[in-house]
Amino acid sequence: IHLIDKVEIGVANYPLHASTSLQLVQRGLQALAVKPLHGERWHMFNIENVTLSQRRIAIASALKEAIECDQLSLFFQPQIYLNTGKVHGAEALLRWEHPQLGNVPPDLFIPIAESSGIISDLTEWVITQALQYQKKMIVLLPEHIVSINISAKDLLRKDLPVLFITLLNEHQLNPANVMLELTESATLFEGVDIKNALNDYRLIGVKIAIDDFGTGYSSLAYLSKMGFDEIKIDKQFVMNIEYSKNDQTICRATCDIAKSLGSYVVAEGIEDSQSMAKLQSYGCEVGQGYFFSRPLPFDDYMQWLEENLETTTVFVNDLEKVVDLIGKNNY
Ligand code: C2E
Ligand code: CA
Ligand code: CA
């Protein structure tokens, strides 16, 4: 009878890693906690991983307090229709200002929140805040779309759609003006019936975007089956679009794919007018990036929104000037 088909071995050395037998066993177990790189079944203890995991534990426990102690805030980064210069909406981006650690970037704390389970509370907080703010934003721009980032782990929860229904009702918001951004890796998350999870949201009427498109491995068949409302090109393909032929090909192809699937495209990471003009020539509908604005605290975003509701024609004129300057044949 075949009883055991998987053995994992943690390796630690005396006296290199530990001075007592108890510590040696602990080090062996700690080595096991780190995923091996190439699927090996043995793991060598590495002091750097311990420091790293201690740091992660410290951040995870500080993150628990962050919500209660009011250290979190939402920033908003505008999204603009490239053809008209009109405001499409904004992406809500989480910020964490810790009294000792300072400004902790989301790229650092979101993965820790995901692996420690704190992400559920964080996501609830973000959704609640974002929809409260959306109520104020639609006073200035009734068709304003608010985009909210959702983690793969959040898709497993059955109670989040209920939270959406409750908040949308409470604030009397149009669900079609709420966009959920799911990273491409989230949509390929193993063990999650994405299509089913997304159906719950579709029934409510909120829209779904595939975020960081191009960084994962989704097939065309998969994209078509999922029917995303929006495809978001990751900034890594946009930031060098002017010089990189590969990035140009990727962006152009993404726009073509989106068109044939009936989705629209948002490009993030637009930092200058040349990149914007290139993306526009590929048929990309909406842009986001430092060229338009950095992510702003809510009050600043409201001020920006107020000022930019009026300046759309100026923007279009600028665009024409840019087109004349670079020469239409270049893109
Ligand atoms: P993302 O969803 O890809 O968000 C876009 C990131 O690109 C933001 O970084 C934004 O500040 C940055 N960005 C936008 N335009 C430009 C540009 O022109 N140039 C450059 N260099 N960067 C630009 P941020 O705010 O640091 O967020 C990083 C990531 O953290 C996000 O990537 C998202 O994956 C995650 N994140 C942020 N807020 C939340 C949240 O509320 N929930 C979840 N689950 N994830 C979040
Ligand atoms: Ca996003
Ligand atoms: Ca991205």
Residue 115: strand, helix, or coil: helix
Distance of CA 272 to the CA centre of its chain: 22
> Of 192, 188, 53, nearest to 112 (Cα)?
53
Pocket test for ligand 1, best of 74, 79, 96, 110 (most atoms within 8 A of CB): 110
Name residues contacting ligand 1 (CB within 6 A).
77, 93-94, 105-107, 110, 126, 149, 151, 211-212, 235, 268-271, 288-290, 295
CA-to-CA distance for 145 and 166, rounded, in angstroms? 19
What DSSP string runs through 215-276? SS---HHHHHHHT-SEEEE-GGGTTTTTT-HHHHHHHHHHHHHHHHHT-EEEEE---SHHHH
Q: How far is the CA of 154 from the centre of ligand 1 (A)?
A: 18
Q: How far is the CA of 181 from the centre of ligand 2 (A)?
A: 6
Measured from the CA of 74, which atom of ligand 1 is nearest?
41
Domain residue spans in the chain? Answer: 9-45, 71-330
Q: How many CA atoms lie within 13 A of 97 on its CB side?
A: 6
Measured from the CA of 212, which atom of ligand 1 is nearest?
3
Please check whether residue 214 is in contact with residue 193, taking contact to mean a CB–CB distance below 8 angstroms: no
Please check whether residue 9 is in contact with residue 42, taking contact to mean a CB–CB distance below 8 angstroms: yes
Residue 156: strand, helix, or coil: helix
Residue 132: strand, helix, or coil: helix
Which one of the ligands is nearest to 110 CA?
1
**So what's the pLDDT on residue 187?**
65
- 68, with CB counted inside 10 A (0-12, 13-18, 19+), is exposed
Pocket test for ligand 1, best of 73, 93, 230 (most atoms within 8 A of CB): 93
Element (H, E) at 103: strand 102-104
Measured from the CA of 234, which atom of ligand 1 is nearest?
3
CA-to-CA distance for 204 and 213, rounded, in angstroms? 24
Please check whether residue 174 is in contact with residue 132, taking contact to mean a CB–CB distance below 8 angstroms: no
DSSP letter (8 states) at residue 36: P
CA-to-CA distance for 318 and 101, rounded, in angstroms? 42
- What is the residue with the minimal CA distance to atom 10 of ligand 1? 295
**Per-residue model confidence as pLDDT tens for the chain (331 residues):** 777 767 888 899 999 999 999 999 988 888 887 766 667 788 889 888 777 777 888 888 899 899 989 999 999 999 999 999 999 999 999 999 999 989 999 999 998 898 888 999 999 999 999 999 999 999 999 999 999 999 888 888 889 999 999 999 999 999 999 999 998 777 666 656 788 889 999 999 999 999 999 888 778 888 888 889 999 999 999 999 999 999 999 999 999 999 999 999 999 999 999 999 999 999 999 999 999 999 999 999 999 999 998 754 445 555 555 555 455 444 3
- What is the residue with the minimal CA distance to atom 27 of ligand 1? 106
Separation in Å, CA 264 to CA 187, 227, 289, 293, 306? 18, 11, 17, 21, 25
Q: How far is the CA of 209 from the centre of ligand 3 (A)?
A: 12
Q: How far is the CA of 28 from the centre of ligand 3 (A)?
A: 37
CA-to-CA distance for 220 and 256, rounded, in angstroms? 12
Which one of the ligands is nearest to 103 CA?
1
**So what's the pLDDT on residue 133?**
98
pTM of the entire structure? 0.85
Q: Which residues pair with 288 in a beta bridge?
A: 268
CATH number given to 71-330: 3.20.20.450
Distance of CA 152 to the CA centre of its chain: 11
Q: How far is the CA of 170 from the centre of ligand 3 (A)?
A: 31
Which one of the ligands is nearest to 213 CA?
3
Structure token digits, residue 22: 């108890």
Which one of the ligands is nearest to 122 CA?
1
Q: How far is the CA of 302 from the centre of ligand 3 (A)?
A: 24
